[in-house]
Amino acid sequence: MVNTRKNRLLPVWVFKLVGFSSLATALIGVAIYLFKKYPPRRKLTREPAENTSEHVPIATQKSSWSKGFFGVRKNKKKMTISLKNTVLWNPSPDVNTPMYAFQENSIQILTRLSCLYDIYVIVHVNSEEEKGDIQRLLENASSTDGLFVDGVDNRKIIFCSEEEGKIHIIRHIEPHMHVEGGWEKDDGEDIIQKLKPFVSKLIWIQKRKDAPSHPNVELADLLMHTSIAQQDLIRLPILQQSHHEQFSKRDVIPAIPLYNANAREYLVQIGIGTPPQLFNVTLDTGSSDLWVPSSKCPATTCPYSRFIEKDSKTLNSTNKNFQVQYGSGSAQGKVVYDSVTINGNLTSTHQVMGLANTTQGMSGPSSASNEKASGILGLGFAGLMRDPQGDAPFILNLLNNNIINEPVFSIYLNKQGDYGYTGEIVIGGYETSRFTGQLSFLPVVTYGSTGKANLGETGSAENGVNKYWTIPGQAIAAYDVNGTQVYETRLDQLEPVILDTGTTLSYLPQAMVTSLLDLVTTNYTALALNSGTIQAYQVNCQDFTRQHLWFDFQFSPSTLTFSNDPVKIRVPLNEMVLPQDTNTMETATTCLFGIAPISTSFLNSVGSGWILGQTVLRSAYVVHDMLGLQVGIGAAANGYHSPTMDGEESNGVCVTPITFLLSAFFSLLTYLAIIMTE
């Protein structure tokens, strides 16, 4: 019998090995692709109430203060703390024989603060014996509480023998914040006065009840009573459901809606007066004033809600005039004080505000929106208020009323086309489920006496004023669908970038706007809006919805120099265009480019810079910290998945559908070869 079976080039087991390997590769590819495309929810660090998503106080990115965290946090600001009379106290009645001990909860507070700040501990000692006693006390704290292992680097515990030496050390460290303590015989006022011009924020813990206050000095009698030590949180989610439903499951954490009015503005409901009169006001981080129309404002210019003064029992009227000017409108009236409620029980009493008798260009969005704007809630700094006079803007007044413990708020706008109640604002912290990756923190840029931003080597933070939520901008780049960089403009110097939720478009210098447009299309038309006060560009919608580009807006974590590892807001191209002839992108044929040339009148007042409005901010989760004078930025969890860009890490794996389809195809061919050769 003749054996007709052909000799194989390779044994069967080789084909099987290749086949099984290909199949395994295909399955692993599928798993990795699905994991990348649909990442799991971040594990909560504690059980939220009634299935609400996790909310985190600004003093921490996690509720656990474990060692692992300290390697994650980047761009910490410096904090110096005088150890005596803040963390340590002397219970001995004899000053010459001190017996130091830790203040109640001071170790826990320091540990929490170390997650937000790079802490330097300054200790003024009168003798080597006193130094030894304090060192032993700190060593015991290290062994029992882990404080100076996990929280404070023991190399940053600095002893000095003179008060002048302590001041010199603090100025050399250049902290963002300093905590100073005092007692009956030495309340620390001299140090506070000497540091006041050089440190942005001073916490003064003292026993004296009549101590003078200053704009950058916070008074307290214990460390645990300061705003930096508090961590209460008020969460204000915006849910796509009826007003009645959103309160039915929120017994502990109050909630209010924020309304996306056709991607033109974002509205939040507040109540003014006693009893509250309800208003939908524009949420605006680019201004600091709160105002609503009065009953005297004509219905032609104030067509929606108007405040009736005689119906409020808590109204305190004044003779001061109120006038505010925006890029696209203005309001005039008088200054009043009244209670302002933001969620039914969070009330800011004696809140300064404007009652507008006349307005121009402030009538709100188109009639297609179900909600109409009747006023503006400014969330900027006090330096931007039209008539500060010692009055506090809304967030700071909530702090002054002991309604919140930290002047912090975080905003999530969601995607452009998600109209209605689809975003979220958090007061007192931030929401972990609303961003991906880590938050990166940037300093808030101050403005000098000339109105120019304090940036670069020539800038000076001394006597600087906080106005806008301004951060240091350094570059813009663009990437295609494969992650290849196709455009970059690196600035000659750091530029101030204002984050403004009250602005529909974003604004850059003319040359940058047209160069970005040219990446996408040459078919665009310049036009004027609002009687020529704002220039914009009309484009074909499909030129933007059919292409896959990503714009990177890049920022430096330093106010002095450029960074090789900038913080980025990454925006997909389809978020950079707005429907013009209809209210939805699905039906629109003509659109507006989401970036417009910045006006020369604005540049004349601030010198230079950008304004990033809703077209950019929808792609970011932004934490605004009024006390820490910083902005936290994370990638908004809005369903977009950008490719790995040039120069960025891909976590060692780059998987696409083609990867596992090809693997599965070759696996099938291998099995067919095995069958045919058996």
Dihedral Cα 226, 228, 234, 239, nearest 10 deg: 160
Answer yes or no: are the C-beta atoms of 581 and 590 closer than 8 Å. yes
Active-site pick, 187, 289, 391, 500 = 500
Where does residue 28 rank: exposed (0-12), middle (13-18), buried (19+ CB within 10 A)? middle
Active-site pick, 187, 284, 391, 480 = 284
Answer yes or no: are the C-beta atoms of 505 and 615 closer than 8 Å. yes
* HSE-up of residue 197 (Cα within 13 Å, Cβ side): 4
Dihedral Cα 78, 84, 88, 91, nearest 10 deg: -170
Answer yes or no: are the C-beta atoms of 160 and 169 closer than 8 Å. yes
Q: In this structure, how many other beta carbons lie within 10 angstroms of the beta carbon of residue 248?
A: 10
Q: Pairing state of beta strands 258-261 and 265-272?
A: antiparallel
Sequence-separated (6 or more) residues with CB below 8 Å from residue 102: 87, 88, 89, 137, 141
Any catalytic annotation for residue 500? yes
Q: What is the CA radius of gyration of the chain?
A: 29
User: Rounded to 5 degrees, what are φ and ψ at 637?
Assistant: -85, 75
User: Residue 217 and residue 204: Cα distance in Å, rounded?
Assistant: 7
* HSE-up of residue 660 (Cα within 13 Å, Cβ side): 17
Dihedral Cα 499, 500, 503, 506, nearest 10 deg: 0
Going by the DSSP 8-state scheme, the letter that residue 351 receives in this structure is: E
Sequence-separated (6 or more) residues with CB below 8 Å from residue 632: 410, 430, 439, 440, 441, 442, 622, 623, 625
Any catalytic annotation for residue 284? yes
Lookup: tokens for 201: 């924020």
* HSE-up of residue 586 (Cα within 13 Å, Cβ side): 2
Sequence-separated (6 or more) residues with CB below 8 Å from residue 571: 550, 551, 552, 553, 615, 616, 618, 619
Query: What number of helices (H) and strands (E) belong to the chain?
Result: 13, 36
Tell me the β-bridge partners of 626: none
**140: helix, coil or strand?**
helix
For every residue of 73-110, DSSP letters joined together read --SPEEEEEE-BTTTEE---S-TTS---EEPTTHHHHH
User: Residue 377 and residue 287: Cα distance in Å, rounded?
Assistant: 8
Q: Which residues are part of the catalytic machinery?
A: 284, 500
